[in-house]
Amino acid sequence: MDADLRGAALAGVRLGGTNLFANRLGEGALEDIDLTGVVFEPPASRLRWLEQRLDSLVKADNLGLMTFFGDSEPLENLMRMLKQHEYPRQTLEVTYALRRGLRRRASSEGTFWERVGSYVQLLFVELPIEYGAAPLRPVGIVLALVGLFGSVYLLPLYRPSRRFGEIWRITPRDQFGRFSDGVFKEPLRATRPREALLAYWFSFLSAVNIGGRIFNLDDLFINCQPYEFHLRGTGWVRTLSGLQALVTLYMILLTLLIYFEKVTF
């Protein structure tokens, strides 16, 4: 059915599940409408019509939440048109809509390995960065994980166990610039609220523990401490700290690659 929607006021109308762009829309009808769940499968003639009204389409809400049921080619063509006409943000939103739809199709209709690949794609690309549409989300994920892991690191402070894992504070014996090879080591204990905060500081240092012997990112923050000390984990604490650093490194690389446009999806 090819309904004539010219002049219709569609702002605020729930359009999810409709093949909106197969219908006749007025020139200004694309502005301020919510495209959440709208099926984007217009015929070729309507796609050419949309290209002439891209300046109106880019003002619609939730371009990235459109979908398709059968043919993905119209979304691919729309993505190319937006890129050609230099709408970078909208290009990324349509890329997200396209890749999410293809990933969902693979997870429901693909072979076993295609389904496995779709779940990997969901976990490592779609959720953290939305195929480039949410380039700063990894930063939020890293900060959220600092708080989450910090709460976990409270466990060895309140229930210490040298057999399974602890957090140790390593302090040089001399804090006044004189040469000394000795160090003072003590396991952290949450005897005061201030000591408990060190679990979150350890979590933050674990997240930025990226680099090597010559340069390590956490050294920059250790130098901001009022006096010199290092926090080190043993047992499961050390393992979890290493995993946290790997997740942070992946999130940083993902953000940088998208920011400098070194990878596209």
Question: What per-residue confidence (pLDDT) applies to 106?
Answer: 92
**Among residues 76, 36, 85, which one has the least CA distance to residue 56?**
85
Question: What per-residue confidence (pLDDT) applies to 96?
Answer: 93
Spell out the per-residue pLDDT of the chain, length 265, in tens.
444 444 444 555 556 666 666 665 544 466 778 888 888 888 877 778 788 888 888 888 888 998 888 888 989 999 999 999 888 889 999 999 999 999 999 999 989 999 999 999 999 999 999 988 888 899 999 999 999 999 999 999 988 777 788 998 888 765 555 445 566 788 888 888 788 889 999 999 999 888 766 677 777 777 788 888 888 899 999 999 999 999 999 998 888 888 776 555 5
10 and 21 Cβ atoms separated by less than 8 Å: no
All residues at 6 or more sequence positions from 201 whose CB lies less than 8 Å from its CB, including other chains: 231
Question: What per-residue confidence (pLDDT) applies to 211?
Answer: 74
Question: What per-residue confidence (pLDDT) applies to 103?
Answer: 93
CA pair distance 8, 15, nearest whole angstrom: 13
Amino acid at 125: V
pTM here is 0.77
Question: What per-residue confidence (pLDDT) applies to 188?
Answer: 85
**Among residues 223, 224, 233, which one has the least CA distance to residue 202?**
233
Question: What per-residue confidence (pLDDT) applies to 199?
Answer: 92
Question: What per-residue confidence (pLDDT) applies to 26?
Answer: 46
Question: What per-residue confidence (pLDDT) applies to 239?
Answer: 94
